[in-house]
Structure 1
């Protein structure tokens, strides 16, 4: 069997993990989740979810991955707990389902890059979205996006994923900073900042059942938790890397990108259609922003820059979503990586035809509200109550973290994380069931 691949450097791992976390969830979903759920009130709950639940959960996945040196499914058997393999399988399944609909949204981004060059969406943003978001055009763009994703993963960990993310992540940061700086000069930008940064806590109390699962799901999605991705990525790490240090860098960078997206989007909306128009379904981001670009000086150029950022973000995450199932098949079956990536990507393309014909919302809510909380719950219970000695030992390798800190982390993972996830799961399943029974997804 060929020697298992590794990252060429610590920076390579961090860029790849940040790339997985920094995706459409930050730039497409986050600003519009914020707008749909009370603005700054949602932002507060989201930040709490990221640092109090997301950060400890990332350490869970990193300890499993590096300790086992295996993919998210095989890791549990490698650690001697084969009965828990299902926990990793749920994550890999979530990753595959997400890739199918995520690629469709990535295809929308490609269509909007073309529309930025031609100016096609500037006259009627809603009509343009309707023409590219469903049907054969959406399927074709979906095919292009997933083909690029397959190509990057097929080249391997170092030559494909690491090399691509080392280029894309700095590009995303530079372009987003530029967009945010430009947006700050727009008339009316202050109203956007006020909506984004001045929380009304009564909104949380009155909309608790909507805001909490949305914020938790957004935190898991944007940090790539519950997909098995971070287990797979950590499995390529060396023993001398500091897991707490790397996790902190990844979480902070990911949060910075999400916040920057808000600083770019809300002033633009406030200067044109108003922040209230940002709420709505999966396509609202494209309609609201594309319409805003059509009303601004140099809007066509700004639109092109924004959608290029969105494309880099989408690709940096989609390659991790494909890597999770690919690493499982390569590790367990000893098959050639390129063949596996093409095969899994092709099946994801076929599954993605359904969201390409209008079912993005169904797939999105299934992942956000059900699959990710279930996967996170099981891996938290596994590390907290079953493999806790191995996890604590692995957490201390390569770092200066003391016994007191590891003990606090372990009990936090045992008690706080499961309780928070169970509440989120209950609210999320209730919401998803309501959507199914009322026909909201069909």
Structure 2
């Protein structure tokens, strides 16, 4: 077994965790989940889900990771509850599953970045084409599946595995220290530019003026979407936060670090909305229709907008570069979940572990690179079932099975002490558990083709 690394700095851990959270879920999924689920109504429920469900659940994953100093699969045995290792296996399997289709989307991002550059420079035009001279929908349809999608899926996974192979300090920590600030700065720049568009005011109104009646009428569909989005954007239920916390020291304050990670991640997600919605309204595009456009909505809709805007190739280059950084920062954390298990459990070094796992993930994702409908199925299963089920397993273990040790772990490194730990335990047992459980039940129903709203109305 190779020697286990730790984070060189507290900032390195925070930026790596933020990088894990600030991924495609924030920029690819969040604006269009918002559009599909009522605009500001979804934003309100999502923010509540992050605070009331996501943050307490993140602390639960942190106490498991730091307490065990092991990967998600071995952590439960190290804590004296080997029969709960199935929860860790589920988290690692969820990370494996999500990264297999996430990498395909990462390949799309590379293609659109190259296409934007090709439009502005004239280079590679014959190889990648441009969405400026082809209808955006047709362009996406031509590149989303097939040999090119498989090739770029492989390229994205190779980059991800290469960073992780370099290690915690030289690979993950160094990369995320560069990527996360770049994402924030570039998104801020795009947000300032978007504010100058003629449709910005209407976009802000749609995004920031919630219809409370819409929340009450559609809560059974908004809740699982918002909770699933919170889990996806906070990297919960995938073993990532357990893994990253396992490299922490006892002097680190889990509540303080977790709170900072949640705030920074949420700000990036909200900022993405300040970029996307003004662009949509400036082009007269209905966000509800854009949100219902499936896995390619962000590419088709924004590519259409960039093609019509002055210096659109430059704006497209910046936007898709931000999206690529976000995609890589999250993908790194997901493959690290499995790399940490292999290096902890077997006498295998990082480089071959990352290469072998990267190849396996690539092969699992090939069907989604051949058919976008398969990608949608993969994504729906992750959102509706795998993520809430995995989070629920960790939560039950921490707040009922291993509660004493969990509270002791939570108190380390923080001045909050017993008061915070007691409040967190009560909240996690009542509010967080109820929210996750309802999201899982409604998500399973949706996955099986049943409408939670219709079932509830027939019962009551």
User: Do structure 1's residue 306 and structure 2's residue 316 form an aligned pair?
Assistant: no
Q: Which residue is 2:417 aligned to?
A: 402
SS of aligned partner of 2:235: coil
Q: Which residue is 2:454 aligned to?
A: none
Q: Which residue is 2:335 aligned to?
A: 322
SS of aligned partner of 2:249: coil
The superposition leaves residues 294-324 of structure 1 with CA deviations (integer Å, 9 ceiling, x where unpaired) of: 1111111101100000000000000101000
Q: Which residue is 2:132 aligned to?
A: 122
- Within a 5 Å distance, the mapping from 1:85-96 to structure 2 comes to 85-96=85-96
Q: Distance in 2 between the 1:386 and 1:423 partners?
A: 21
The superposition leaves residues 118-174 of structure 1 with CA deviations (integer Å, 9 ceiling, x where unpaired) of: 231023111110111111111011011000001001111111110100000000000
SS of aligned partner of 1:239: coil
Q: Distance in 2 between the 1:273 and 1:96 partners?
A: 39
Shift of 1:80: 0.4
The superposition leaves residues 210-243 of structure 1 with CA deviations (integer Å, 9 ceiling, x where unpaired) of: 2111100000000000001100000001110111
User: Do structure 1's residue 214 and structure 2's residue 248 form an aligned pair?
Assistant: no
User: Do structure 1's residue 227 and structure 2's residue 238 form an aligned pair?
Assistant: yes
Q: Which residue is 2:204 aligned to?
A: 193
* 1:44–1:199 Cα contact (<8 Å) kept: yes
SS of aligned partner of 1:187: coil
Unaligned runs of 5+ in 1: 436-442
Shift of 1:115: 1.1
Instruction: Figure out how many residues of one structure are paired with residues of the other and give that number.
Output: 435
* 2:2–2:343 Cα contact (<8 Å) kept: no
Q: Distance in 1 between the 2:66 and 2:381 partners?
A: 29
Q: Which residue is 1:51 aligned to?
A: 51
Q: Which residue is 1:440 aligned to?
A: none
More deviation in 22-31 or 199-208? 199-208
* 1:226–1:375 Cα contact (<8 Å) kept: yes
Output the aligned Cα RMSD: 1.0
- Within a 5 Å distance, the mapping from 1:6-21 to structure 2 comes to 6-21=6-21
* 1:131–1:137 Cα contact (<8 Å) kept: no
Q: Distance in 2 between the 1:357 and 1:413 partners?
A: 41
Q: Distance in 1 between the 2:409 and 2:249 partners?
A: 11
Q: Distance in 2 between the 1:248 and 1:205 partners?
A: 29
Q: Distance in 2 between the 1:339 and 1:63 partners?
A: 29
User: Do structure 1's residue 279 and structure 2's residue 253 form an aligned pair?
Assistant: no
Shift of 1:2: 3.0
Q: Which residue is 2:75 aligned to?
A: 75
Q: Which residue is 1:422 aligned to?
A: 437
Give the alignment partner of residue 142 of structure 1, picking from 130, 144, 153: 153
Q: Distance in 2 between the 1:206 and 1:139 partners?
A: 42
* 1:273–1:288 Cα contact (<8 Å) kept: no
SS of aligned partner of 1:434: coil
* 2:72–2:242 Cα contact (<8 Å) kept: yes
Q: Which residue is 1:343 aligned to?
A: 356
Shift of 1:206: 2.2
Q: Distance in 2 between the 1:331 and 1:419 partners?
A: 34
Q: Which residue is 1:60 aligned to?
A: 60
* 2:2–2:349 Cα contact (<8 Å) kept: no
Q: Which residue is 2:366 aligned to?
A: 353
Q: Distance in 1 between the 2:175 and 2:251 partners?
A: 24
User: Do structure 1's residue 152 and structure 2's residue 167 form an aligned pair?
Assistant: no
TM-score (norm 1): 0.97
SS of aligned partner of 1:300: helix
Q: Which residue is 1:439 aligned to?
A: none
Q: Distance in 2 between the 1:356 and 1:162 partners?
A: 30
Q: Which residue is 1:165 aligned to?
A: 176
SS of aligned partner of 2:178: helix
SS of aligned partner of 1:294: helix
Moved over 3 A (4+): none
* 1:273–1:292 Cα contact (<8 Å) kept: no
Shift of 1:201: 1.4
User: Do structure 1's residue 363 and structure 2's residue 363 form an aligned pair?
Assistant: no
Shift of 1:267: 0.4
Give the alignment partner of residue 271 of structure 2, picking from 260, 267, 270: 260
Give the alignment partner of residue 237 of structure 1, picking from 241, 245, 248: 248
TM-score (norm 2): 0.93
Q: Which residue is 1:438 aligned to?
A: none
* 1:32–1:285 Cα contact (<8 Å) kept: yes
Shift of 1:4: 0.6
Q: Distance in 2 between the 1:329 and 1:202 partners?
A: 50
SS of aligned partner of 1:88: helix
Q: Which residue is 1:372 aligned to?
A: 387
Give the alignment partner of residue 292 of structure 1, picking from 294, 301, 305: 305
Q: Distance in 2 between the 1:273 and 1:289 partners?
A: 12
SS of aligned partner of 2:295: coil
* 2:2–2:348 Cα contact (<8 Å) kept: no
Q: Distance in 1 between the 2:425 and 2:216 partners?
A: 30
